[in-house]
Amino acid sequence: MLNLFVHPKRIFLVLFVCFLAFSIWIYAIPLFSPTPYSKKELHLVAEGRLVWQKNNCHTCHQLYGLGGYLGPDLTNLYSRTANNEAYIKGIIKSGVKQMPAFEISDDEMNGLLHFLKNVDATGTSNPQDYQPEIIGTFSLEKK
C-alpha cells in the first residue's frame, strides 16, 4: 500500500503543483497590493524608466548597487539632494565632468524625475559598505 503513494511520478507531480501554486501566489501579490501611487504617477515612473534606458544611464550610474562605476550610485539621489529637483535638472541638462549634457524634453525630464523619486522611495544602497569580490559582485558582509 505504501508503494502507491511513494511513486516517483506522483512525488514529482505533487512537488510541481506546489511549486506552480507558490510561484503564481508570489507573482500575484503585487497585482493585488495597494499602491500609494495613482495610475498617472505609475505611468510617469514607467516613462522615466524608459528615458533612463534610452539614454543608457545604467552604463555609468548604479541603482541598488548595480550598473556602471563611472558615475555615482543614484538609488537615493532625492534623499541626498534634499528633494531639490532644480539641482537634479541642472546636472542632467548641463552635465558635469565626465557626464555629458542631455537634451531631453520637459516630459522626459518629468518622467525621469518621477522614476528617480520612486527608486529613492523603494530602498537604499551604499555599495561602499560592502566588500567587492574579484568576479565583479559584492559580498553581503560589510567591510
Q: Would you state the pLDDT for residue 23?
A: 93
Nearest to 142 by CA among 121, 126, 124, 123: 126
Q: How confident is the model at residue 143 (pLDDT cuts 50, 70, 90)?
A: low
Percent of the chain with pLDDT over 70: 85
pLDDT reading at 4 higher than 60: no
pLDDT tens-digit readout, 73-123? 888 888 888 878 889 898 899 888 888 999 999 999 999 999 999 888 887
Tell me which CATH homologous superfamily contains domain 39-131.
Cytochrome c-like domain (1.10.760.10)
Sequence-ordered list of residues with C-beta below 8 angstroms from that of 55, at least 6 positions apart, any chain? 102, 104
Q: pLDDT averaged over the chain?
A: 84
For the chain, the structural domain boundaries read: 7-36, 39-131
For residues 47-68, average pLDDT? 90
Return left, alpha or beta for 15; rule: phi > 0 is left, psi -120 to 50 is alpha, else beta: alpha
Nearest to 64 by CA among 132, 131, 123, 138: 123
